[in-house]
Amino acid sequence: MSDPHEISRSGHIESRDLSIGWRHGKEHFQAVDRVSFSIAAGQFVCLLGPSGCGKSTLLGALAGHIRAASGSLFLDGAAILAPSPERGLVFQHHTLFPWKKVIDNVAFGLKMKGVARAERRARARELLDLVGLSGFEDKYPVQLSGGMQQRVEIARVLINQPRVLLMDEPFGALDAQTRWIMQQLLLQVWASIRTTIVFVTHDIDEALFLADRVLVMSHCPGRIRDDIPVPAARPRGEAWLTSDGFIRLKRHCLDLIHDERPCANPPDGADLALQPAVSRLAEALI
Amino acid sequence: MHGAHFSLAATDTSLSAPAQDDGASNDADIDRPETAKGKRAHLPFGRLFVRLLSLVVFVALWQAASGNRLHLGLVNFQNVPAPSEVVPALRDLLQSPKIGAHVGSSLCRVFAGFVSAALAGIALGLMIGRSRWAADLLQPPLEMLRPIPGVAWIPLAILMFPSSELSMVFITFVGALFPVLLNTIHGVSGIDPRLIAAAKSLGAGRLRLLTEVIAPGAAPSIVTGLSIGMGTSWFCLVTAEMIAGQYGIGYFTWESYNLQSYADIVVGMLFIGVFGMASSVLVRKFGDLLTPWYQIGNACGHE
């Protein structure tokens, strides 16, 4: 574990008694409450739960954008303290730079590493090919559809060869048809790169279609209620979505979620994930 | 004439420039049109005709009022030179050797004042926008100076600088500084914090964040500030030249009044309008070149 080269292609995540709280005016809101789990390298894990259950907050902590109140998070034995290209983050709404062409958006991570222009563009082309966007190199993000924007976003994160891919409802804003295409695409991509993926969603079907393992979260406070392995063989197709095994797991997830007591007006998870950045910016501007 | 001319200029710039919404982040769940070409469709002939006609009627009314020495009680056209007098005066000035000195010194002053204001305004704006410490340190005095118009600086500027040339450049600088500064701060604050988070996640350090995200993100707003600043710096310059100048378009206009060559006043005003508008358009075009994505985004948003 001490040699960084030895562990560079792993991606083992460990959470120990992690708690994250927010002050919302005078109220204190416990978004994540003493959560412990472990994710094996190369595993595809979905965090499933209703909105406001702290799953986005947990993902923000894994990305390094949010500090834990107590407990700790480790990636391959090293504590997670700040954002890093090794932990790529994909949001529901794309965060592509509007002023960069598609190819330069994808190549951004390599530019930050000081890779020469020709080389980083060549790598970016490979990744655009991987996500099925060859031929769109010179478009600006605003010229793409929502699904295409998310493809670029995924390519941009993958160019850094992250140990972990963190996805916060990445297909939540897409129409059903595009979402289905993107889910299949993600599995294809994952099959070729085999990085660890932590995928936040409130869509049970999506979680059971994609994941090796589903962590079901409850809210008020955010805790992990169940840890469900999804034993279906890969590659998965539509057959899995209509199988008895799928229905049984879905029934189980529904029971867990319907069990939830509604809680008093929890702040929106997605907003919380960015609260530090937003408030810091607001403070800087007076 | 002065007011009418300026309002025409304003209409023209607002037509050629896309509306500057607060960097409206176009959330795209739908397919975007492929290209942004053809967003500036030509006016239909009928409307073009009406516009030309309006211009002709305006000049004709002016000619009639001045030519007939009209006295309306409140407004007096008796001493207002008619277009028929202005055109020969314009021809004379264009042929005189002095024109180069007048236009040249005005352009130099505006250029020096505007460029230094642009550099200072953008640098200060980025600092204030990005660092709370810089904001606390720099903003109070700037806020105190901001409401003071550049023209009000003229007496003090004459006392502060060794030459009247420098004091005029300084007034031009003051005129352009605040529009640039405020728009830069506004642009920085308008950047989606998620883009900053994404850049950090992708490995951008402080400096790279500034050059790759903050500066381009604020660019459309900075361009707006520069274009407004260009207008105000001309405004300030002309006033300063009237008081402190020896050459320059403002000086020429005021001198013409003193020498009672009234047609030259209008010629000077025309020059001020033409150069002020041309330099604003130039700044806007230059800004458009720097922000191609923004033009495309606007075209997609409008259609």
Question: Is B101 found in the same domain as B71?
Answer: no
Question: Is B207 found in the same domain as B106?
Answer: yes
Look at B188 and A63 and tell me if their CB atoms are within 8 Å.
no
Residue B238 is assigned to a structural domain of this protein: yes
User: What integer pLDDT is reported at residue B169 of this predicted model?
Assistant: 94
User: What integer pLDDT is reported at residue A237 of this predicted model?
Assistant: 87
On chain A, the residues whose CB falls within 8 A of the CB of B294 are 98-99
3-state secondary structure of B32: coil
Residue B208 is assigned to a structural domain of this protein: yes
Name the domain count of chain B. 2
Take residue B226 and report the two structure tokens written for it.
């520069």
Question: Is B203 found in the same domain as B112?
Answer: yes
Question: Is B189 found in the same domain as B167?
Answer: yes
User: What integer pLDDT is reported at residue A265 of this predicted model?
Assistant: 53
| CATH number of the domain where residue B218 is located | 1.10.3720.10
Look at A112 and B200 and tell me if their CB atoms are within 8 Å.
no
Q: Which of B201, B208, B214, B291 to mutate to test the interface with A (most CBs of A within 10 A)?
A: B201
The residues spanned by each domain of chain A are: 1-86+163-261+271-286, 97-161
User: What integer pLDDT is reported at residue A3 of this predicted model?
Assistant: 43
Residue B1 is assigned to a structural domain of this protein: no
User: What integer pLDDT is reported at residue A5 of this predicted model?
Assistant: 42
Q: What residue ranges of chain B have pLDDT lower than 50?
A: 1-39, 302-303
The beta-carbon neighbor of A274 closest among B135, B197, B291 is B197
The beta-carbon neighbor of A285 closest among B135, B192, B294 is B135
Structure confidence by residue, pLDDT tens digits, B120-139? 999 999 999 999 999 999 99
User: What integer pLDDT is reported at residue B41 of this predicted model?
Assistant: 60
3-state secondary structure of A148: helix
Look at B132 and A83 and tell me if their CB atoms are within 8 Å.
no
Q: Which domain holds residue B185?
A: 85-302
Phi, psi at residue B230, to the nearest 5°? -60, -45
Say how far residue A225 (Cα) sits from the centre of its chain.
20
User: What integer pLDDT is reported at residue B184 of this predicted model?
Assistant: 96
CATH number of the domain located at residue range(s) A1-86+163-261+271-286 in this protein: 3.40.50.300
User: What integer pLDDT is reported at residue A257 of this predicted model?
Assistant: 82
Question: Is B118 found in the same domain as B71?
Answer: no
Question: Is B60 found in the same domain as B100?
Answer: no
User: What integer pLDDT is reported at residue A9 of this predicted model?
Assistant: 57
Question: Is B204 found in the same domain as B160?
Answer: yes
> Kind and range of the H or E element at B7?
helix B2-16
CB atoms within 10 A of CB B278: 12
Chain A residues with a Cβ under 8 Å from any Cβ in chain B = 63-65, 83-85, 87-89, 91, 93, 95, 97-100, 108-109, 111-113, 140-146, 149, 156-157, 160, 173-175, 274, 277-278, 281, 283-286
Residue B268 is assigned to a structural domain of this protein: yes
Q: Quick one: how many helices (H) and strands (E) in chain A?
A: 10, 10
Tell me the mean pLDDT per 10 residues along chain A, length 286. Answer: 48 92 75 91 92 84 89 92 89 92 96 95 95 93 93 93 93 92 93 92 94 89 90 90 94 86 54 46 38
Model ipTM over 0.95: no
75-134 in chain B: CB under 8 A from chain A = 129-132
